Amino acid sequence: MKKNILIISTEFPPAVGGIGNHAFHLANSFQHKNYNTTVVADVNEPDEQKIISFQQNISFAFIPIQRKKNILFVYLKRIKQTIHFAKQADIIFCSGKFSVWQIHIIKLFYSSKPIISIVHGTELDLKNNFGKTLLLGALKKSNAIIAVSNYTKSFVPKNLQEKCFVIPNGINNEEFKNYISTTSQTNPLQLITIGSVTNRKGQENVIKALPTILSSFPETVYHIVGKPVEKEKLLAVANKLNVANKIIFHGAVERTELLKILQAATIKIMLSNHTSDGDFEGFGIAILEGNAAGKPAVGANFGGITDAIKDNFNGILVDVNNANNITNAIKEILNDYKNYSNHALQWAQQHDWNNIIEQYIEMINC
C-alpha cells in the first residue's frame, strides 16, 4: 500500500529560493518513487496564471498559499490547509522556519503522526527569542530532524542531536546535460556568483578581491546573477576599487538564460558570510549547479559550503577575506582545470536527487 507523504514548505516554485528548490525536488522524487505526495507551501508569485500553469505540469498534488499583504490571512489559510491535508498523511515533512513552527498546531490535532523537520540554516540562529523558542519547541516534538549540512546540524541543540541526521541538498543533473562545458576559459576569466545580491551571498567579498585577481588575470569578468537587492551598495564598493567595469549585474533571469550564462563561465565563486542577524548558507546548492555544468568552485571555508565543496576535488575552500588565498585557488584550479571539472561532474552526480531520495526513503522506512 502506497504511503501518503505531506510536505509543508515556507516557499515553493514558480517563484523560488533554496528551500523551495529543495522542497520541489523532494516532492517530485517521492512521487516518482511511487509515494502519494502532497505539498502545501507558500508561493511568492503574484501572477495566479503562472501558479496554475505550474500546477498543471507537475505529477504531485500542490496546494499553493499565495502571499498577500494581509499576512494574518496567509497564516490562517496555511494552518487550515495544513490541518486538512495532515489528516490523510502517513508521514509529514516540515521544511523551513514557518513550516516547522506549525508542528505545534499539527500535534494538537494529530499527536501520533510522525513528523520530520527539515532545517536549512538560518532558522536555527534566530535572534528573536520568541521565534527561537517556538522553533526549538517544535523540533522537540519532531520525530526526527534532517539538517542539510553538518554546519547546519551544529546549530541543533545538543539534547536533540541524537535524532538529527544530515542529508545533503540534491540536484537534478538532467537539467544541465545540454549546458556542460569542461573547457577552461582564461582569457577572459569568467567568474560567476548565482543568488540574490545580499550580504549572505558574499558578492561584496568577491568584489573586494577583484583588484588582486585582476593583477594575475587582467581580463577577468565577474558575473553576478540574482535579484539585485544590494546592487547600489556593491556598485559603490566597485567604483571605489576601480573595478566596476569588470562586473556585470545580470539581475534575476529566466532559468534558460541563467544556464547559458553558467555554461560560458569558468569558475563558480561563492564567498558567503554568516551575518550578524543569523543568516547563513545552509549548504550552497548553487555550487552543485555549477558542478553539474562542469564548473569547479571557489567557496567560503566555513558554513554549509564546506559540505558542498570537497576541498581540492570539485573546488577549493578559501578565506573569504584573503584576496591572495582566493587568487591562488583560482590559479590552482586553472592549472588543473580538466581534472577539477571532471571531479565537479562526478560530485554533482553523487548528489543527484535519484541518490539523495534513497536516504529519505531509508529514514522513513526505519
Q: Which cell numbers hold the place of 70? A: 494581509
Give all strands (DSSP E) within the chain, no chain letters.
4-9, 36-43, 61-66, 91-95, 115-119, 144-147, 164-166, 190-194, 221-225, 247-251, 267-270, 297-300, 315-318
Per CATH, domain 174-350 is 3.40.50.2000: yes
Q: What pLDDT is attached to residue 366?
A: 75
Q: How far apart are CA 1 and CA 190, in angstroms?
A: 51
Domain(s) of CATH 3.40.50.2000: residues in the chain: 4-170+352-364, 174-350
Q: Could you tell me if 270 and 202 are in contact, meaning their C-beta atoms sit under 8 angstroms apart? A: yes
122-126, 136-140, 232-236: which has the minimum mean pLDDT?
122-126
Give the list of residues 6+ apart from residue 39 with CB closer than 8 angstroms, or none: 6, 7, 8, 9, 12, 23, 27, 60, 61, 62, 63
Q: What is the pLDDT of residues 8-34, one digit of tens each?
A: 999 999 877 789 999 999 999 999 999
| pLDDT level of residue 59 (50, 70, 90 thresholds) | very high
Q: How many CB atoms lie within 10 A of CB 123?
A: 27
| Sign of the torsion formed by the C-alpha atoms of 301, 305, 310 and 314 | negative
Comparing 354 with 46, which gets the higher pLDDT? 354
CATH topology of domain 4-170+352-364: Rossmann fold (3.40.50)
Q: What pLDDT is attached to residue 69?
A: 72
115, amino acid identity:
I
Comparing 38 with 252, which gets the higher pLDDT? 38
Q: What pLDDT is attached to residue 4?
A: 96
At residue 191, φ and ψ (nearest 5 deg) are -100, 150
Measured at the CA of 254, the angle between CA 250 and CA 255, to 5 degrees, comes to 110
Q: What is the pLDDT of residues 295-331, one digit of tens each?
A: 999 999 988 899 999 999 999 999 999 999 999 999 9
Question: Is pLDDT above 90 for 74?
Answer: no
Average pLDDT, the chain: 93
Q: What pLDDT is attached to residue 1?
A: 67
Place of cell 541524537: 162
Q: What pLDDT is attached to residue 207?
A: 98
Q: What is the pLDDT of residues 178-225, one digit of tens each?
A: 999 877 777 799 999 999 999 889 999 999 999 999 999 999 999 999
